[in-house]
Amino acid sequence: MRIGILGVAGRMGGELVAEARAAGHDVVGGTLNPASACPYRGDVPIMSLPALAARADVVIDFTHADAVAGHAEALSAGRAAWVLGTTGISVGQQEAVAVASRHVAILQAAHFGLGINLLANLARQLAALLPAESYDAEIVEMHHRQKVDAPSGSALLLGEAVAEGRHTSLSAVMESGRDGHCGARATGAIGFASLRGGQIVGEHALSFTAAGEQITLSHRAFDRGIFAAGAVRTASWLAGRPPGLYGIDKMLGLPPARDKDER
């Protein structure tokens, strides 16, 4: 398979190149962040996104949310499928992804590892069984100090799973960034706390806490190679599929999330 890497000079870009080659794929090219002053010292051919989209079967994207709308427009005109792992995407940027999915196959996920996606499915099941009036849902995540978005995409994935299990929307019940005299915790809220420091790859914990007990689901990533390996496996699955916006649950054969607009 011919794979293109967006942001090939970044930390994830290097991981993706190594994983794709280890899996026997041809990394046919990559793009660079135009704002980066660091020279690229790798051996992947650098080209424009339209040229890469015409040459690759699939492009993998872990770049910045600000680039998503432009990527969506360029990829819509090409033929390459799009594995999108960028997080912190706005409503308008997500609309651009949806428009692009009419023309190319896109698999968008906050996390490409098996563990966190299994955790999200467990979170959905627990949320459906534990009454929101009695069990307070709180999510704590910690990442490396360079991460620019909060809460993390994986934390939001867990929050969305809880909201789906409770038959509500995350936007209606999300509480994040409590500070000062913020009042009592709202019944049924899904709380988030984000920590940053050092070079932690990713830690997530979801707790359901009632008056008499607490249930906690947790996941720790030790190596960002799990993201790269999962993205390369996803690229293999996505190549050649018809246009549409796919979810990671479908690829993994997990029960689909409620009301997801995916094939």
Q: Residue 256 has what pLDDT? A: 66
Per-residue 3-state assignment (H helix, E strand, C coil) for the chain: CEEEEECCCCHHHHHHHHHHHHCCCEEEEECCCCCCCCCCCCCCCECCHHHHHHHCCEEEECCCHHHHHHHHHHHHCCCCEEEECCCCCCHHHHHHHHHHCCCCEEEECCCCCHHHHHHHHHHHHHHHHCCCCCCEEEEEEEECCCCCCCCCHHHHHHHHHHHHHCCCCHHHHEEECCCCCCCCCCCCCEEEEEEECCCCCEEEEEEEECCCCEEEEEEEECCCHHHHHHHHHHHHHHCCCCCEEECHHHHHCCCCCCCCCCC
| Furthest C-alpha separation in the chain | 59
Instruction: Give the pLDDT of residue 262.
Output: 41
**Domains, the chain:** 2-108+224-252 (3.40.50.720), 114-221 (3.30.360.10)
pLDDT value at residue 224? 82
**Degrees (nearest 5) of the Cα angle 232, 238, 241?**
165
- Per residue of the chain (263 residues), what is the pLDDT tens digit? 999 999 999 888 999 999 999 999 999 999 998 877 678 889 999 999 999 999 999 999 999 999 999 999 999 998 899 999 998 899 999 999 999 999 999 999 988 988 999 999 999 999 999 999 999 999 999 999 999 889 998 999 999 999 999 999 999 999 998 889 989 999 999 999 999 999 999 999 999 999 999 999 999 999 888 889 999 999 999 999 999 999 988 888 877 665 444 43
pLDDT of residue 34: 80
Query: Left (φ > 0), alpha (ψ -120 to 50) or beta: where does 2 sit?
Result: beta
pLDDT value of position 195? 97
How many whole angstroms separate alpha carbon 8 and alpha carbon 137? Answer: 38
CA dihedral over 196, 197, 201, 207, signed as positive or negative? negative
User: Is-catalytic flag, 147?
Assistant: yes
Q: Which among 64, 103, 147, 260 is annotated as catalytic?
A: 147
Choosing from 25, 143, 204, 219, the catalytic residue is 143
pLDDT value of residue 259: 43
pLDDT for the residue numbered 258:
54
Q: Is 143 a catalytic residue?
A: yes
